[in-house]
Structure 1
Amino acid sequence: MGASFSFSISHETSPAAPSLGLGLGDLPESCAASVLVYLDPPEICKFAILNRAFNGASSADFVWESKLPKNYGSLIQRVFGESDVFCKDFCKRDIYSRLCRPNSFDGGTKKVWLDKRTGKICMSVSSNSLAITGIDDRRYWSRIPTEESRFRSVAYLQQIWWLEVDGEVEFPFPAGSYSLFFRLQLGRAYKRFGRRLCNSEHVHGWDKKPMQFKLSTSDGQQATSQVYLKEPGKWIYYHAGDFVVMDSSRSTKVKFSMTQIDCTHTKGGLCVDSVLVYPSEFRKRWQRF
């Protein structure tokens, strides 16, 4: 779109009268704001630099209120509580901007943010908040630092007979459909001379039996799936299941697990990074298995 758009209005009763040169900048802010309501946030920001009318309209509270989740107040309370980190005097545009950042809660073990384009809730749950069988025994598990995780560390399994990972989250999810994924990698990544490599020394046992994933919600929904882990050296999002939130006025508790408890063989060489919850419409972005 060009920097300006102009049109002229002539007086039918006076053909000789000079035309009035009007530009898009002469549009009242209220009219410009009514247009912006129908655009997504990135488009609103582009229009804000078009001219003075759209710049002023782009700050209108009712424009940004239409982009925020309907229960954004409950979301703010859950994440920030009574903390002064979140200014209660923010305008709606600033609230949207603040919520689009990855905001930590529950002691930094979880992060939540709004997708910038759609305003939909996304969440990541650290391996540090998961109940992992044997996690405190260094013969089986260790915590390793890495820049490849949002949380700067992952749980690394060297070898074990009984694999069981459980977690839960309680959150005021806005109404909608959500998908839950486990972010896993076979092998341990490292860098050498600036090149990313993968140590697959401990990778074994994953071709014997599939990994089982489960989820359940506080309102009785359940889902299960199973898949063989594969492709060492790549972070893969394994789909555990979907759930639907009908009532955004209350918190939904979601429990999830990952197990491989066949004790006929050992398995190892697995990195557990996090569990992710995304709107189901985003599923194609992440799902491979």
Structure 2
Amino acid sequence: MGAGISSSVAVNCDDGGSGSPGLGDIPEGCISSLLMNFDPPDICKLARVNRAFYRASCADFVWESKLPSSYKLLVDKILAEENLHSLTKKQIYEKLCGPNRFDCGNKEAWLDKCSGQVCLFISSKCLKITGIDDRRYWNYIPTEESRFQSIAYLQQMWWVEVVGEVNFEFPRGSYSLFFRLQLGKISKRLGRRVCNVDQVHGWDIKPVRFQLSTSDGQHAQSECYLNGPGEWAYYHVGDFVIENPNRPIKTNFSLAQIDCTHTKGGLCIDCAVICPSEFRERLKQI
């Protein structure tokens, strides 16, 4: 998921037998109207049928029907260096389906290539983490296990609070927000993954509180104990619904364990994720 659509399409020149009607005789406009009923991967497969199907598959109105209604806002935000008027709708779709970084490379957005829905990742470096500048408590650790190549690691602290804010133009639909977390410090030893859990403590005493709010008045909260040392997990913060897609919505979210009767440690924070709610079971594949 998130990979771009290939721009090179093999063309079958066999348009039917000589002197008899064939697929190549179907008007391109009719083929394009038919292709609008297929998902993008199937459109690319059908483009290989013959030249007429290839040309019909490139029609702007075919790909505009697959783009979210707010795609121009997405292009302005995450493809700011591109000239929208010089790109075909297919090229725009291809580019938006790739992993696109913005905000100094600390956020990543892309369209799901099958559904055209938006997924957004926010790096730990975009989050406000209490005590992050004090290396007695927190450190940023480089790792290949993060799409941003870096995670925030908590050694030990009494007050743990992480706050995030994102202002983004989402297409219409229902979205879920998650934190990607792990207990235990990851490293490599002799080429093998190692997770040190010696500093993991305090998370089984009180649950972590998650909260979410949006600029249009939506709210959600939940509580959960952190468990499963050594494995990355997506902790559900809450859901929100986009009904007016052509304007930005501000989303505030947080996790907190601020009971100062005990210390907490050994927590890795990778990123926050906002994705369509139906993608919840697919997160591990992203």
TM, length-normalised to structure 2:
0.90
Larger-Rg structure = 1
Q: Does 1:90 pair with 2:110?
A: no
Aligned counterpart for 1:109 among listed residues 101, 106, 110: 106
Q: For residues 26 and 199 of structure 1, what CA distance do their matches in structure 2 show?
A: 66
Report the alpha carbon displacement of residue 151 of structure 1 after superposing the two structures with TM. 0.8
Q: Does 1:22 pair with 2:21?
A: yes
Q: For residues 86 and 284 of structure 1, what CA distance do their matches in structure 2 show?
A: 36
Amino acid at match of 2:41: P
Q: For residues 25 and 144 of structure 2, what CA distance do their matches in structure 1 show?
A: 50
Q: Does 1:182 pair with 2:182?
A: no
* CA RMSD, Structure 1 to Structure 2 (Å): 2.0
Three-state SS of the structure 2 residue aligned to 1:21 is: coil
Please name the residue that 1:148 is paired with.
145
Q: For residues 269 and 33 of structure 2, what CA distance do their matches in structure 1 show?
A: 46
Matched residues, number: 273
Three-state SS of the structure 2 residue aligned to 1:237 is: strand
Three-state SS of the structure 1 residue aligned to 2:75 is: helix
- On the 8 A contact 2:28/2:52 being kept in 1, the answer is yes
Q: Percent identity?
A: 59
Please name the residue that 2:71 is paired with.
72
Q: For residues 6 and 250 of structure 1, what CA distance do their matches in structure 2 show?
A: 46
1:49-71 deviations in Å (ceiling 9; x for gaps): 12111111111000000000111
Q: Does 1:99 pair with 2:99?
A: no
Please name the residue that 1:226 is paired with.
223
Report the alpha carbon displacement of residue 7 of structure 1 after superposing the two structures with TM. 9.4
- On the 8 A contact 2:16/2:24 being kept in 1, the answer is no
Q: For residues 199 and 254 of structure 2, what CA distance do their matches in structure 1 show?
A: 23
Please name the residue that 1:57 is paired with.
56
Three-state SS of the structure 1 residue aligned to 2:85 is: coil
261-270 vs 195-204, which moves further: 195-204
Q: For residues 42 and 134 of structure 1, what CA distance do their matches in structure 2 show?
A: 46
Report the alpha carbon displacement of residue 26 of structure 1 after superposing the two structures with TM. 2.7
Aligned counterpart for 2:260 among listed residues 260, 263, 266: 263
* Change over 3 Å in CA distance of 1:103–1:7 after alignment to 2: closer
Report the alpha carbon displacement of residue 196 of structure 1 after superposing the two structures with TM. 1.7
Q: For residues 88 and 150 of structure 1, what CA distance do their matches in structure 2 show?
A: 31
User: Which of structure 1's runs of 4+ aligned residues deviate more than 6 A?
Assistant: 3-8
- On the 8 A contact 1:175/1:246 being kept in 2, the answer is yes
Aligned counterpart for 2:234 among listed residues 210, 234, 237: 237
Q: For residues 175 and 13 of structure 2, what CA distance do their matches in structure 1 show?
A: 41
Q: Which runs of 5+ in 1 are unaligned?
A: 9-18
Map 1:122-137; keep pairs closer than 5 Å: 122-137=119-134
